Amino acid sequence: MKIRTLIIEDNENNMYLTSFLLANAGHEVIQAFDGQAGVDRAKEVVPDLILLDIQLPKMNGYDVARALRRDTSLSSIPIVAITSYAMPGDREKALEAGCNGYIKKPIDPDTFLGEVESYLND
């Protein structure tokens, strides 16, 4: 069975790269280009994994993570923040909002898949 992965990312280049890497590894990729659309798509498709940018239009990634954690049908899905926010405290802020993990951009295509899939086994 394919891993259903929702990517919530507003940058088309980042969306293309992450989607390409995951689809080539056999994931079913679902895309959302803003925070509110990401929450709505998560409710529609109930993914196995959510990759979440933090700096998003309409609803930032912290608020998206909080909204997903409040929904009992989505609360156990691993959420991995993938963000350029790399200042001291940014990782902790993402984890406090409900993310299970944190990957800094730019992503490394050689290690990305392993990093992302490691959160499926938590």
Q: According to the model, what pLDDT value does residue 74 have?
A: 96
Q: What is the pLDDT along the chain (122 residues), one digit of tens a residue?
A: 799 999 999 999 999 999 999 999 999 999 999 999 999 999 999 999 999 999 999 999 999 999 999 999 999 999 999 988 777 788 899 999 999 999 999 999 999 999 999 999 65
What is the Cα–Cα distance from 118 to 33, expressed in whole angstroms?
24
- Helix H, strand E, coil C: the string for the chain is CCCEEEEECCCHHHHHHHHHHHHHCCCEEEEECCHHHHHHHHHHHCCCEEEECCCCCCCCHHHHHHHHHHCCCCCCCCEEEEECCCCCCHHHHHHHHCCCEEEECCCCCCCHHHHHHHHHHC
Q: Say what the pTM is.
A: 0.95
Tokens of 44: 């529609």
How far are the Cα atoms of 52, 63, 65 from residue 69, in angstroms, in the given order? Answer: 13, 10, 6
Q: Which domains does the chain have, with CATH numbers?
A: 4-121 (3.40.50.2300)
